Amino acid sequence: MFRFNKTPDVLTLFHHPKSESSNQILSFLKGAQNPSTPPQGTTTTATPVKFDLDVVPAPQLPTPDQFKSIVDFLGGEAYAKKILRGISSFDEGVRALAEKEAKNLAEEGGVGVGTLHVELVRPILVDWNNGRVVVGGNEEDLKRLREEVKKLVETLPED
């Protein structure tokens, strides 16, 4: 019988290696993928969860298209300032990220472009396939983030 294999969901963690909570989330996600190591915060070895994990370390920023999708997944343009510090509007965030992207390309041999200083709140975990985002920030957000990541991983298909 012919059967289509579903490609694994893609999760992106916008990670900050110096952040304890970001490291905890990364450890949990890697543990969920690896059958020999139980995910952090569990007492038994769970069935591995099938997903591709893309880790984007600081200071890398999302592309303008990724930023648009993340804001859309969160519920709209009002969330732009929640995840990108240093902007006053969604459009300013898109413009700043586009300038940053152009500057990175320019540094490889091209024209220089001025940029607005922006900082991405981290950790941010994005489930691109299912349109879900979990954002860390203050301590209360981080507690919620850990719980939401556990719930998100539980909904992904097992290996």
Question: What's the CA angle centered on 67, arms 62 and 68, to 5 degrees?
Answer: 155
pLDDT tens, 84-100? 999 999 999 999 999 88
CA 55 to CA 51: how far, in whole Å?
13
- CA 145 to mean position of chain CA atoms: 12
pLDDT tens, 104-127? 765 654 433 355 678 999 999 999
Is the model's pLDDT at 74 over the cut of 80?
yes
Assess contact for 157 and 49: CB atoms under 8 A: yes
Band the pLDDT of 150: cuts 50, 70, 90: confident
Secondary-structure class of domain 1-58+122-159 per CATH: alpha beta
Averaged pLDDT for residues 14-40? 81
Domain extents for the chain? 1-58+122-159, 71-120
Averaged pLDDT for residues 4-18? 86
